[in-house]
Amino acid sequence: MTARDVLRNAARRGAHWVDLQYSLTIQGLHDVAPLARGELLDVGCGEKPYESIFRPFVTRYVGIEHEGSYTQTDASARGTGPDHYYDGTRLPFDDASFDTVLSVQVLEHTPSPQALLNEMARVLRPGGTLLLSAPFSFRLHEEPHDYFRYTPHGLRDMCARAELDVVRIDAQGGLWSLLAHKLNSFLAFRVAIVGGAMQAMGKLGHEARETRRPRYWTVPLVGPMVVGMSASARVLDRMLPDPSEALSFLLVARRPEA
């Protein structure tokens, strides 16, 4: 590994920590990963960034993507991308093919979310587990394929329609991380314009390529601000919780035994 790789990895780890949406998602997935077992299907897998979290608990990790909305990136060209592509209507697997279905931040990207959830339920074996995270409040992204946001009540209703039993729904983040995430996104993408640098680090891989020139001269001011806000938000979410706000919700549901 070259010095450049070491620096790049350190910068990437720092960017992950500051990115509250990402780090809270990772934390939530670590919490639910022990519920995964057997053969796992990651629907809307992107570059399979969560495979290492689930690998210890499953026998097989399969990723599938929508051929119409997936953006080829450097990582997918290196072979860490999807194993299968489909047209977004019927998952190309038999009924009851998987023990676990994982889907992270995908349900907002289809105009027919109930149909996609029904498909996830169909390919689950009886007794199988669905682990799904969906945003409650997040900026517009991957436009124009950005259609919905979700509440726990909406997710429960959708699961009932898909004949899935909800086991639990966890909020990812609260009021303070939501506020900090929005301010940090504004500072990073609109003030410092470091979206391109983050894409070079392997983040925001699914979003349109940032072509504007970064304003690196703002970084000495913006950098400490975003770090300070991310740190304070983590503390304030614990000290002054507001359960009516979240960045996303993480759902665990089961397909009933036959």
Applying CB under 6 A, does 234 fall inside the site for ligand SAM? no
User: Phi then psi for 61, rounded to 5 degrees?
Assistant: -125, 115
**Contacting ligand SAM (CB under 6 A), which of 18, 26, 62, 116?**
116
Between 107 and 236, whose beta carbon lies closer to ligand SAM? 107
- DSSP one-letter code for 117: H
Contact 25, 45 (CB under 8 A): no
Strand order in the sheet with 60-66: 84-86, 60-66, 39-43, 98-104, 124-135, 248-254, 165-172
Among residue numbers 46 through 65, which ones bind ligand SAM (CB under 6 A)?
Answer: 46, 49, 65
- Partners of 64 in beta bridges: 43, 84
Per DSSP, the three-state class of 165 is strand
Applying CB under 6 A, does 203 fall inside the site for ligand SAM? no
Name the CA dihedral angle for 214, 219, 222, 224, rounded to a multiple of 10 degrees. Answer: 150
- DSSP one-letter code for 44: T
Contact 96, 226 (CB under 8 A): no
Q: Which stretch binds ligand SAM (CB under 6 A): 38-46, 183-191, 195-203, 232-240?
A: 38-46
Between 88 and 128, whose beta carbon lies closer to ligand SAM? 88
Kindly state the smallest distance separating residue 219's Cβ from ligand SAM, in Å. Answer: 26
Applying CB under 6 A, does 136 fall inside the site for ligand SAM? no
Among residue numbers 67 through 86, which ones bind ligand SAM (CB under 6 A)?
Answer: 69-70
Binding mask 89-108 for ligand SAM (x = CB under 6 A): ---------------xxx--
Q: Which stretch binds ligand SAM (CB under 6 A): 29-37, 45-53, 160-168, 211-219?
A: 45-53
Residues near 186 by beta carbon (within 8 Å), at least 6 away in sequence: none
Kindly state the smallest distance separating residue 246's Cβ from ligand SAM, in Å. Answer: 17
**Contacting ligand SAM (CB under 6 A), which of 109, 125, 181, 203?**
109
Between 177 and 236, whose beta carbon lies closer to ligand SAM? 177
For residue 68, CA distances in Å to 65, 87, 132 come to 9, 7, 21
- Which residues sit at the interface with ligand SAM, rule CB under 6 A? 43-46, 49, 65-66, 69-70, 88, 104-106, 109-110, 116, 142, 206
